[in-house]
């Protein structure tokens, strides 16, 4: 790791948003530090198959992330740092990031592309998914179960009901947590079954270790092929500190979608306050954040 460089752009997060920003900056010969404690890829790397990225009929999330990283590897000016960013301060016109190995790196601009993490549903099966849009179409004419009845869970159930045989929507609460209009749509669907005061107690796996059924807390056994968890996502924005405002649930606020309240600080991807959280929107954010950062750099000269 080269900590003696004063980088043009510091990027925290190496998911699709952060990697896209690095590609754009690298193509412009900017000195870039791309920082991520988990290496690279973000949430998309955990999707077994993705079919909604333009240009790819079908690709695994891991392969898609690896392709992006290969592009980054072609730029000698992009330094990929596998470390956790613990603290950021601003001194003498430079952003200074303290990493978990106590080293400090400096840069002229900063991009937060820290993403989110799904709140995990801890069950012993590989067939737990966190994105109905990404993974739902692989279960056409199958039975699936959705855990969580907030707006996300209700939206998942409605989307899945258009191609799945039966959709079971369960929650520990006694009433749906989603907006009333979504509740009405749920109740109007003949193949969505609302299961209040219920969640999954255990699972049974069948051939090839694929999910075959779930055991509910009511002791009922439901045959199903996939579990879609919608019990919340957690934006990774603790490090943002004084450099950007956040919503009540910790997403970064931006008036134009990319810039923050601090000059030279930009955001990209799922960590920002946006309704649509998809790979294509993250990639778009990353490109715009990099372009805006490079425009800011020109103004410093």
- Tell me: the pLDDT tens digits for 101-158? 999 999 999 999 999 988 888 898 999 998 888 889 999 999 999 999 888 889 899 9
Q: 103: closest CA among 84, 117, 116?
A: 84
- Specify burial of residue 60 (Cβ count, 10 A radius: 0-12, 13-18, 19+): middle
Residues 97 and 182 in one domain: no
Q: 47: closest CA among 123, 127, 115?
A: 127
Give the domain CATH number at 159. Answer: 3.50.50.60
123 inside domain: no
pLDDT digits (tens, 9 = 90+) for 52-62: 889 998 888 88
How far apart CA 188 and CA 155 sit, in angstroms, is 14
pLDDT score at 1: 52
How far apart CA 235 and CA 115 sit, in angstroms, is 6
175 inside domain: yes
Q: 44: closest CA among 105, 108, 133, 127?
A: 133
Q: Find the mean pLDDT for residues 235-244.
A: 91
Q: Find the mean pLDDT for residues 258-282.
A: 91
Q: Is this model's pTM higher than 0.75 or not?
A: yes
Residues 42 and 105 in one domain: yes
174 inside domain: yes
Q: Find the mean pLDDT for residues 204-210.
A: 88
Domain with 286 in it: 6-118+233-300
pLDDT score at 49: 74
How far apart CA 47 and CA 44 sit, in angstroms, is 5
Of 229, 255, 285, the residue at which a domain comes to its end is 229
pLDDT score at 86: 95
Of 205, 229, 253, the residue at which a domain comes to its end is 229
Q: By percentage, how much of the chain surpasses pLDDT 70?
A: 98
pLDDT score at 21: 97
Residues 105 and 176 in one domain: no
Residues 110 and 242 in one domain: yes
Q: Find the mean pLDDT for residues 175-179.
A: 87
Residues 170 and 214 in one domain: yes
The number of domains in the chain is 2
Of 229, 247, 278, the residue at which a domain comes to its end is 229
pLDDT score at 12: 97
Residues 199 and 263 in one domain: no
pLDDT band per the 50, 70, 90 thresholds, residue 206: confident
């Amino acid at each position: 790791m080269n900590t003696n460089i004063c980088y043009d752009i510091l990027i925290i997060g190496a998911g699709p948003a952060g990697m896209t920003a690095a590609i754009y900056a690298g193509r412009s010969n900017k000195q870039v530090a791309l920082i991520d404690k988990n290496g690279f890829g973000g949430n998309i790397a955990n999707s077994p198959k993705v079919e909604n990225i333009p240009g790819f009929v079908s690709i695994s999330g891991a392969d898609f992330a690896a392709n992006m990283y290969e592009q980054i590897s072609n730029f000698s000016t992009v330094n990929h740092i596998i470390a956790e960013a613990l603290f950021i301060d601003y001194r003498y016109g430079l952003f200074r990031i303290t990493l978990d190995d106590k080293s400090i790196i400096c840069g002229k601009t900063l991009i937060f592309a820290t993403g989110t993490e799904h709140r995990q549903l801890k069950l012993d099966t590989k067939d737990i998914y966190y994105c109905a849009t990404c993974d739902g179409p692989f279960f056409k004419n199958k039975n699936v179960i959705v855990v969580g009845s907030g707006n996300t869970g209700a939206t998942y159930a409605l989307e899945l009901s258009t191609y799945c045989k039966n959709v079971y929507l369960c929650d520990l609460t006694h009433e749906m947590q989603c907006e009333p209009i979504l509740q009405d749509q749920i109740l109007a669907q003949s193949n969505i079954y609302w299961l209040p005061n219920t969640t999954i107690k255990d699972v049974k796996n069948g051939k090839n270790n694929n999910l075959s059924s779930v055991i509910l807390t009511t002791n009922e056994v439901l045959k199903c092929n996939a579990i879609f968890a919608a019990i919340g996502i957690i934006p990774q924005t603790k490090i943002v500190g004084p450099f950007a405002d956040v919503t009540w649930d910790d997403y970064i606020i931006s008036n134009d979608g990319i810039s923050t309240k601090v000059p030279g600080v930009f955001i990209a991807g799922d960590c920002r306050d946006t309704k649509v959280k998809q790979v294509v929107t993250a990639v778009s954010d990353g490109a715009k954040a990099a372009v805006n950062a490079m425009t800011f750099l020109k103004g410093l000269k």
